[in-house]
Structure 1
Amino acid sequence: MTINTSRRGFLKGAAAAGAVLLVGARPDGALAVASSETTQFNPFVKIDADGTVTAIVKHFEKGQGPATGLPTLIAEEIGLRMDQIEYEFAPSNPQVYNNLLFGPFQGTGGSTAMANSWMQYRQAGAAAREMLIAAAAQNWGVDAAGITIEEGIVKAGNQSAPIADFVAAASQLDAPAEPRLKDPSEFRLIGNESVRRKDSAIKGNGQAMYAMDVHLANQMVTMIKRPESKGGIANGFDDSASKEIKGYISAAVLPNQAGVAVYAENTWAAIQARDALEVDWDMSGAETRHSDQIKAEIMAALDAEPAYNVNKAEVAAVAAAIDEADKVIEKTFYFPLLAHAPMEPLNCTIEQTAEGDIVLHDGAQMPTGPHMAYQQIFQLPPEKIHIKTMLAGGSFGRRATPDADYQVEAALAFVVTDRSRPVKLVWTREDDIRSGYYRPAFGHKVRVGLDADGNIVGWQHQVAGQSVIKGTPFESVLVHDGIDHSSIEGIADSPYAIPGMALGLTDTPKATTVLWWRSVGHTHTAYTMETMMDLVAEAAGRDPVEFRLAHLSDSSNADQIRKAAVLKLAAEKAGWGNAPAGRAQGIAVHKSFGSYAAEVVEVSGDPEDGIKIEKVTCAIDCGIAVNPDVVRAQMEGGVGYGIGHVMRDQITLTDGTVDQFNFPDYEPLRIGDIAAIDVHIVPSAEAPTGVGEPGTPPSAPALANAINALSGTHVAELPMAENGISFV
Structure 2
Amino acid sequence: MTIQDVNTTRRGFLAGSGLVIGVAIAPKMLSAAPTGVHAGGDPALAPMNAFVKIGTDDTVTVLAKHIEFGQGPFTGLATLVAEELDADWSQMRAVHSPTDNKVYANLMFGLQGTGGSSSIANSYEQMRKAGATARAMLVAAAAEDWKVPASEITVEKGRIKHAGSGKESGFGAFAEKAARQTPPAEPKLKDPKDFVLIGTELPKLDTHGKTNGTAIFTLDITPDNLLIAVVAHPEHFGATVKSFNDAEARQVQGVIDVKQVPSGIAVYADNTFAALKGRDALSIEWDLSKAETRSSEDLSADYRKLFGEKGLEAANNGNVDDAFKGSGLQTVEAEIVFPFLAHAPMEPLDAVFIKADDGSVDIYNGAQFPGMDQSVAAKILGLDETKVRVNTQLAGGSFGRKAQFGSPYIQEAAAVYAATDRSRPLKHMWTREDDIRGGYYRPMYAHRMRGAINAQGQITAWEQVIVGQSIMGKADLDETSVEGASNLPYTIPNLKVSAHNVQLSIPPLWWRSVGHTHTGFAVETFVDELFQKIGKDPVEGRLALLGEKPRHAGVLKKAAEMANWGSPLPEGRARGVAVVESFGTFVGQIVEVSVGPEGAPRVHKVWCAVDCGVAVNPNVIKAQMEGGIGYGLGAVLFDAVTLAKGGKIVQSNFHDYRSIRINEMPDVAVEIIKSSEKPSGVGEPGVPPVGPAVANAWRRLTGAPVRQLPIVNIVSA
Shorter-chain TM range is over 0.9
Q: Which residue of 1 aligns with 2:30?
A: none
Q: 1:25 touches 1:41 (CA, 8 Å); kept in 2? A: no
Q: 2:516 maps to which residue?
A: 522
**Counterpart of 2:315?**
311
The DSSP-based 3-state class of the residue aligned with 1:409 is helix
- 1:388 maps onto 2:391 in alignment: yes
2:389 is paired with a residue whose SS is strand
Matched, 1:496 2:494: no
1:285 corresponds to 2:290: yes
**What is the rounded CA distance, in whole Å, between the counterparts of 2:505 and 2:264 in structure 1?**
19
| Kept after mapping to 1: 8 A contact 2:558/2:609 | yes
Contact map agreement 1:577 1:585 (CA 8 A) in 2: no
- Quote how far apart the aligned CAs of 1:497 are: 1.9
Shift of 1:165: 2.0
Name the CA distance, whole Å, in 1 between partners of 2:238 and 2:333.
Answer: 38
C-alpha separation between the residues in 2 aligned to 1:504 and 1:652? Answer: 26
Q: Distance in 1 between matches of 2:550 and 2:347?
A: 40
CA deviation map 1:617-647 (0-9, x unaligned): 1011011111111111100111111111111
- Look up the SS of the partner of 1:249 in the other structure: strand
Structure 2 residue matching 1:155: 3-state secondary structure: strand
What pairs with 1:268-347 in structure 2 (closer than 5 Å)? 268-306=273-311, 308-313=312-317, 317-324=319-326, 326-347=329-350
CA deviation after TM superposition for structure 1 residue 313, in Å:
4.6
The residue type equivalent to 1:642 in the other structure is: G
| 1:357-506 aligned within 5 A | 357-470=360-473, 482-506=476-500
Name the residue aligned to 2:18: 20
Aligned to 2:109: 102
Q: For residues 49-64 of structure 1, what are the structure 2 equivalents within 5 Å?
A: 49-64=56-71
Q: Unmatched 5+ residue regions in structure 1?
A: 1-11, 555-559
CA shift, 1:511, in A, is: 4.9
Matched, 1:688 2:679: yes
Determine the structure 1 residue equivalent to 2:180. Answer: 172
Letter in 2 for 1:168: E
Per the alignment, residue 9 of structure 1 pairs with none
Partner-residue secondary structure (3-state), 2:259: strand
- Partners of 1:263 and 1:609 in 2: CA distance: 47
Question: SS in structure 1 opposite 2:663?
Answer: coil
> Equivalents in 2 of 1:498, 1:277: separation in Å?
59
Stretch deviating more after TM superposition (116-125 or 210-219): 210-219
Deviation of 1:42 after TM superposition, in Å, equals 7.5
Q: Give the superposition deviation at 1:657.
A: 1.5
Distance in structure 1 (CA, Å) of the matches to 2:459 and 2:46: 62
Deviations 1:236-292 (A, max 9, x none): 4222211221111110001x2x20100011111111000001123222222211111
The one of 692, 698, 701 equivalent to 1:710 is: 701
Cα offset for 1:605? 3.1
Show the counterpart of 2:268: 263
Give the counterpart of 2:652 among 657, 661, 665.
661
Give CA-to-partner distance per residue, 1:311-340, whole Å, 9 cap, x none: 2456xx412312325211111111011111
**Residue identity opposite 2:305 in structure 1:** A
Counterparts of 1:13 and 1:130 in 2: how far apart (Å)? 17
Structure 1 contact 322–447 (Cα < 8 Å) conserved: no
RMSD (Å) for aligned C-alpha atoms: 2.2
CA contact (8 A) 2:2 2:23 kept: no
Aligned to 2:11: none
State the 1:15 CA deviation. 3.9
> CA offset at residue 32 of structure 1?
9.1
> Alpha-carbon deviations, 1:418-448, whole Å to 9, x = none?
1101111111101111123211000111111
Deviation of 1:367 (Å): 0.9
**TM-score, length-normalised on structure 2?**
0.93
2:569 aligned with 1:561, yes or no? Answer: no
Per the TM alignment, residue 672 of structure 1 is displaced from its structure 2 partner at its CA by 1.5
Give SS of 1:68's match. Answer: helix
Does 2:204 align with 1:197?
yes
Query: Cα 1:508–1:607, aligned 2, differ >3 Å: closer, same or farther?
Result: farther
Q: Deviations over 1:661-687 (max 9, x none)?
A: 111111111111133011111111111
Give the Cα–Cα distance (whole angstroms) in 2 for the partners of residues 33 and 138 of structure 1: 25
**Is 1:75 aligned to 2:82, yes or no?**
yes
Mapped contact 1:579–1:585 kept (Cα < 8 A):
no
Worse overlay, 460-469 or 136-145: 136-145
Q: SS of the counterpart of 1:80?
A: coil
The residue aligned with 1:5 is: none
C-alpha separation in 2, matches of 1:262 and 1:312: 54
Unmatched runs of 5 consecutive residues or more in structure 2: 7-15, 25-37
- Tell me how far apart the structure 1 counterparts of residues 688 and 463 of structure 2 sit (CA, whole Å): 21
CA contact (8 A) 1:360 1:387 kept: yes
Q: Residue 510 of structure 2: SS of its match in structure 1? A: coil
Shift of 1:47: 1.4
Shift of 1:305: 2.2
Q: Check conservation: 1:236, 1:253, Cα contact below 8 A.
A: no
- Kindly state the Cα deviation for residue 398 of structure 1 after the two structures are TM-superposed: 0.5
2:539 to 545, 555, 569: 545
Aligned partner of 1:596 in structure 2 is: 586
Question: What CA distance in whole angstroms lies between the structure 2 residues aligned with 1:32 and 1:348?
Answer: 28
Q: Give 3-state SS (helix, strand or coil) of 2:185's partner.
A: coil
